[in-house]
Amino acid sequence: MLRRSLLAAPLVLAAAPALAQWVPKLPIKILVGYAPGGTADITARLAADAIMRQHGYPVVVDNKTGAGGFIALKQVAQSPPDGYTVGIGIMGQIAVGAVVPGSNIPLDLDKELVPIANLVGVPMALIVRPNAPFKTIPELVAYAKANPGKLSYASTGLGSTNQLAAEFLGFESGGLKMIHVPYRGGAPAIADVAAGNVDMFFGNVSELMSLANAGKVRVLALAATKPTPLAPDLPLLTKDIPALDINNWFGIFGPAGLPADIQAALSKLFIGAIADPSNKEALAKQGLESLGQDPAAFKAYIMKDRERWAKVVKQGNIKAE
């Protein structure tokens, strides 16, 4: 697997306002490596609709699923750097996959892609089985310490964001000894937590609240520094463990070699689109927060995220499937 250090070439966007003068003459295509209806797809379509509404530029969302979302990003990397093909990249691919040994990544993320804009983030939440003997994070930690090797957590596979989040919790709590139970997807993992077969699971809060509201699982805490509109009364995990602020982000990437003026113009278009007031309600319903990071801020955010997850990977000796 190719190693990743920094994302593409240095960006110089603040040098001259004239750089952001590129105007699209053809439809912009957003490639999404995940199925319609998911967070990545919803994000792309909200941005596309807003760009068309604000500026009249045609934008098309094209779902290219497979290989953990990398089929779409590979196609982005192979596209001409003319601004007309971009793609959604997510934390699990760009920040987590890049630092987990054995990850099957079919391109060099840093040499073949450039960041354009970080659009939205959704916090992770920790759910536990309904009859779990702990109702708070301190109680969970105390239980795990009193019962080493008994507490179990589900994930969507070895090297997944779900696994790293649980290991991060264990690491920040003083080294909890837990049992990892990997599944082939989030649905069976959550189902086994609901059935009481596994103790806990970290997932995007937007994917968990319907089950929690139905009483099938219990949400112990939100891994964020502030409440979510989806469930404003959820306890914040960061109050007990400050480092546990886990925001799954969704950003726009383009092919390497994208000229600075096109990169700047696209960044402005997408940031403005996701911040459109008409998107506020739709984002809130999905538990999404507008991030609006330009290429420089996005690049720094990615590198900081990689540094954090690399420590968790090393501490837990984590490898991909």
Place of tokens 């999905």: 286
DSSP code string of 137-189: HHHHHHHHHHSTTT-EEEESSTT-HHHHHHHHHHHHTT----EEEE-SSHHHH
Q: Which two tokens stand for residue 20?
A: 């952001």
In 3D, which of 92, 88, 97 has the Cα closest to residue 4? Answer: 97
SS (H, E, C) 56-111: CCCEEEEECCCHHHHHHHHHHHCCCCCCCEEEEEEHHHHHHHHHCCCCCCCCCHHH
In contact, 173 and 241? CB cutoff 8 Å? yes
In contact, 69 and 90? CB cutoff 8 Å? yes
pLDDT value of residue 6: 40
pLDDT value of residue 155: 96
pTM assigned to the model: 0.90
In contact, 128 and 226? CB cutoff 8 Å? no
The tens-digit pLDDT sequence of the chain (321 residues) is: 444 444 444 444 444 344 448 999 999 999 999 999 999 999 999 999 999 999 999 999 999 999 999 999 999 999 999 999 999 999 999 999 999 999 999 999 999 999 999 999 999 999 999 999 999 999 999 999 999 999 999 999 999 999 999 999 999 999 999 999 999 889 999 999 999 999 999 999 998 999 999 999 999 999 999 999 999 999 999 999 999 999 999 999 999 999 999 999 999 999 999 999 999 999 998 999 999 999 999 999 999 999 999 999 999 999 997
pLDDT value of residue 5: 42
pLDDT value of residue 21: 82
Q: What is the pLDDT of residues 56-88, one digit of tens each?
A: 999 999 999 999 999 999 999 999 999 999 999
pLDDT value of residue 321: 74
pLDDT value of residue 219: 96
Q: Which two tokens stand for residue 182?
A: 């990997």
In contact, 125 and 289? CB cutoff 8 Å? no
Q: What is the pLDDT of residues 79-138, one digit of tens each?
A: 999 999 999 999 999 999 999 999 999 999 999 999 999 999 999 999 999 999 999 999
